[in-house]
Amino acid sequence: MPHTVEWKVRLHLFEGEGTTKAHLVLDTGATTLTGRGVAHCNPADTDVPEIGDELAAGRAMRDLAQQLAEAAERDIEGMGAPRTGLRTSQVAGWPL
């Protein structure tokens, strides 16, 4: 059975005093999840805003990915499958 959906993602980056904060919002239409990430520039390093953006955004994406994996695990459990743990490469037959 074909299945097509569109999820919207918004990434907001905030910079100030050697710190970059990322706020990533995923809107599935049915739910909203928020990932957060922070990057700090070492005072001894050259301030390159793009690097802070990349690190903070990547960390926010990692946070969001973890939340999605945990939500999938809960949904799979809700269907009666046993909990396998998110640290494995496979969750109840679904490869991660």
Whether 95 is covered by a domain: the verdict is no
Whether 1 is covered by a domain: the verdict is no
In 3-state terms the chain splits into helix, strand, coil percentages (rounded to 5) of: 30, 30, 35
Whether 42 is covered by a domain: the verdict is yes
Whether 90 is covered by a domain: the verdict is no
Residue 26 sits in a domain whose CATH number is 3.30.160.240
Whether 65 is covered by a domain: the verdict is yes
pLDDT of residue 17: 86
Q: Would the pTM count as exceeding 0.85?
A: no
Q: How many structural domains does the chain have?
A: 1
Q: Domain range spanning residue 62? A: 8-80
**Model confidence pLDDT, tens digit, residues 6-46:** 999 999 999 998 899 999 999 999 999 999 999 999 999 99
Give the tokens for residue 69: 């994996």
pLDDT of residue 33: 97
